[in-house]
Amino acid sequence: MVLTEKLLEHIPENLRLKENDIKVLNDHLDFFLSKADIIVKDFYDTLFSNEATRKVFYEGERPIREKSLAEWVVKTIGGKFDKDYWAWQTFVGILHIKRKVTNDYMLIMMHRISDLVIGEAYKDLPADEAAALKTAWLKLAGIVLSLISESYHYFYLVAISQTTGIKLNLLDNLVRVEVDNLLEANKKYRLT
């Protein structure tokens, strides 16, 4: 996916996953496997405890989604973080459009997972190991969030563009003619 490559280029060098980060993640596959149940349960308990996020799921879907999340964790942590892996994360953005998983839901839940992962790491691992895992995980989470959120935004516009025939440049221009009005309407939030 060309978009994936473009988005990966946007990530500042020091925030990219380096070889040592990948090694740290790969080396902790067993740690993640041992925590998968905790992470998955907490993730869906949190989503189902809130009416807005619960609405994303259809009746009886939770076990299927729990399995998917567990698979995502295993495939991610044990993975190579190659082009295919990042393209997969970009594709998730399209799935999220389909399922109406808006970026606010996605961002807040990724932060929840990060909180759990880091908390469990410091509970179970030596401090320096936990710190290395925290760094690697937060880099990974940041990249995944970037890809999914921007892919959601991009493909949302692509869908509008393809349905209406309005080119992306023109859509961008339509936004630009309105954005000043939006700024004006919300100027009370503007910093001086």
- Binding residues for another protein, per CB under 8 A? 163-167, 169-170, 173-174, 176-178
Whole-angstrom Cα distance, residue 53 to residue 11?
Answer: 29
DSSP for residue 154? H
Smallest separation, CB 158 to another protein (Å): 14
Nearer to another protein, 64 or 179 (CB): 179
What are the Cα distances from residue 150, in Å, to 28, 42, 181, 189, 191? 29, 26, 24, 25, 26
Query: Letter for the amino acid at 112?
Result: R
Nearer to another protein, 29 or 171 (CB): 171
| CA 3 centroid distance within chain | 15
Smallest separation, CB 44 to another protein (Å): 41
Nearer to another protein, 92 or 166 (CB): 166
Smallest separation, CB 41 to another protein (Å): 47
What are the Cα distances from residue 187, in Å, to 57, 96, 165? 37, 31, 33
Half-sphere exposure at residue 192, Cβ-oriented, CA atoms within 13 angstroms: 0
Nearer to another protein, 38 or 175 (CB): 175
Smallest separation, CB 163 to another protein (Å): 7
